[in-house]
Chains A and B, each alone.
Chain A
Amino acid sequence: MTRYLLRRVGLAIVTLWILSVIVFFAGQILPGDPARATLGPLAAPSAVRALDHQLGVDRPLVTQYLSWLGGLLHGDMGTSYAYQSAVSPFIRAALINSAKLAALALIVIIPLGILGGVIAALNYGRPIDRVISLFGSSAATVPEFVSGIVVIVVFGVALKVLPVTAAAGTGAPFLTQLKYLILPAVPLVLVLFGYIARMARAGTVEALESDYARTATLKGLKRSVVIRRHVLRNSLLPTITVIATQTGYLIGGLVIVETLFNYQGIGKLIFSAATAKDFPMLEAGVLTIGVVYMVATLVADMLTFSLNPRLRVGGWSD
């Protein structure tokens, strides 16, 4: 267990390092001079040079990369070009907002996706199975802003029952905040439904065909008992893993949903930083997403590990 875990953490760190290189150098090839962007087109060239020097962007690339990486390791995410203040508080606030939205989406989608997948599996090969599977895979390929617009038109414009922006204000009571988050959560739920339902279906189909399920049926247990006690306990294991690996997709969806609904989350932060050429903010935001994804994947692995006794005994053959 410890060896496996260490190996996983090691690989995650390597992947994060590759990511930091990609992000940093992608940021460097962005056109435009940060000092010029901050000071405006009328500033004197000497002032631009001075600010460039102050920001440190006139140093060699490798030096810049190393000092940026060193800062990150000490928890210093750098200073935003656009706001002229530390990046970290922005990232923290945005991350909390995004977490609220993501949490709501996950609370809805996990039971719904599992239910859909299990129903499809119990009706394997019948029309309802095909309908759920096709609906799931179609919903997963419809871009979030498209389904977002459809729900805005239906619930916000035609029925006028829910607000069309996600801005409830930070001090608003829980239920008001929730009400504002319902519409933005729908597109995320739709995209994730297909993945989770597919995994739950595959796991359940496999468990239904297994010897232990057959034995349980043959010894006279009721079908509902077989399903609850023998099938579901085994089939939901891979589903837990897939839910964690969907975090990446979820955050990608957040960029779109937060822009569409004008919600101040990490996705919108990255989008605004990229359009404003605010590299430190952009790089910190993208890396934060990478870290969140890595942690989610690690947690998923550990969950799988602790839920499956066979892996504990036999060790993990990667």
Chain B
Amino acid sequence: MTEVAAAAPAEIIPAVSARGELPAWRLLIRRPSFLVGATMLLFWVVCALFGNAIAPHDPLAQQLLSINKPPSAAHWFGTDSLGRDVLSRVIVGAGPILTVAPLATLLGTVLGTALGLAMGYFGGLLDALVSRLVEAVLALPAVIVIFLFIVALGTSVSTLIIVIGFIFTPLIARTVRSAVQVERHLDYLSSARLLGERPIRIMFVEILPNVVPTVVVEFTVRLGYAIFAVATLAFLGFSVQVSAPNWGSDINSSYGLLGAGYWWETLFPALAIASLVVAINLVADSIQQVVSE
């Protein structure tokens, strides 16, 4: 019990499923949608980690004599308006998004789980306050809230992570809170209280392991939204380094050329984003199905 509670919530998948027969991961790998999603995700993780070694060209090298060239044998995805190889930029561009989004989601999940445990367990004023805050945050599209804060605080990797993580915190807290409220009236909690356990211990050692499936599902679903948010912010012009390969900002700098027929500079990074979010969604959906079975 203690070991489970001490580990990072995101990495915990309940060892035994509700059926009590097979471990959760065995149920997961039986699902075709999980296999497809995990394979695509693995592909992009490999690109993010070893992109510079895999890329056929230097993603930053400009060839001003061959700008805006359509896809060819030398440049499978064509070249952009500075003559850079689009394929190489797509491969290396997996890096920034797969750094910021998971870290932001992890931050939001850790804070949100702690807050949700406290809200569900204590109820009262804290619960009422945070619930109002959640409503206020939900009244605005997340992208606008994040974007307001990014404009205010400036763009850097840590700002992006902290702002997205903080926006996710009340949303995740709300989900965890509902799960905690289900547990709240169960016998094992009255026993724990009668044994004289402290609230902190009850929340993190007794309740947390039982809401872990909810937390895992919430993490994977939110990861998809984090990718969505990071890509969208980059598209709106909020990315960290201007020339470094980045799907969203590459699209931002090239979509104006769509009218001129240079579709490859924009389409391929767009498809990369689409495939990444679909992959995460397939994985998230499979985990959700296994958890709810």
Contacts and interface: CB of A to CB of B under 8 A. Distances in A.
Contact of A260 (B255, B259, B281): B255
A123 interface: no
Given A26-B149, A146-B270, A157 B261 contact: yes
Contacts of B228: 141-143
A210 B271 CA distance: 43
Contacts of A212: none
A14 B132 contact: yes
A138 B143 contact: no
B141 A137 contact: no
Looking at chain B's contact residues, the main secondary structure is helix
A38 B30 CA distance: 62
Given A255-B141, A256-B235, A290-B140, A138 B261 contact: no
Interface residues of B, number: 46
Given A149-B255, A149-B270, A29 B152 contact: yes
Contacts of A101: none
Interface stretch (B6-14, B45-53, B88-96, B272-280): B272-280
A145 interface: yes
Nearest to A18: B136
B122 to A, nearest CB: 20
Contact of B277 (A30, A138, A152, A275): A138
Interface string A14-41: 1110110011001101110000000000
B140 A289 contact: yes
Interface residues of A, number: 52
A259 B258 CA distance: 14
Report which residue of B133, B227, B274, B285 has the largest number of chain A beta carbons within 10 angstroms of its beta carbon: B274
A20 to B, nearest CB: 10
A14 to B, nearest CB: 6
Given A143-B231, A145-B251, A157-B258, A256 B143 contact: yes
B258 A164 contact: yes
A19 B141 CA distance: 12
Interface of A: 11, 14-16, 18-19, 22-23, 26-27, 29-31, 130, 133-134, 137-138, 141-147, 149-150, 152-153, 156-158, 164, 248-249, 251-253, 255-256, 259-260, 270-271, 274-275, 282, 286, 289-290, 293-294
Lowest 9 CB-CB distances: which A-B pairs, in order?
A252-B141, A141-B224, A18-B136, A141-B277, A149-B270, A146-B270, A138-B278, A153-B263, A293-B139
Interface of B: 33, 132-133, 135-136, 138-144, 147-149, 151-154, 224-225, 227-228, 231-232, 235-237, 251, 255, 258-259, 261, 263, 266-267, 270-271, 273-274, 277-278, 280-282, 285
18 contacts: A19-B140, A29-B152, A130-B33, A134-B33, A134-B281, A141-B228, A141-B277, A142-B278, A143-B235, A145-B270, A149-B258, A153-B267, A157-B261, A255-B141, A255-B143, A256-B143, A256-B235, A290-B140
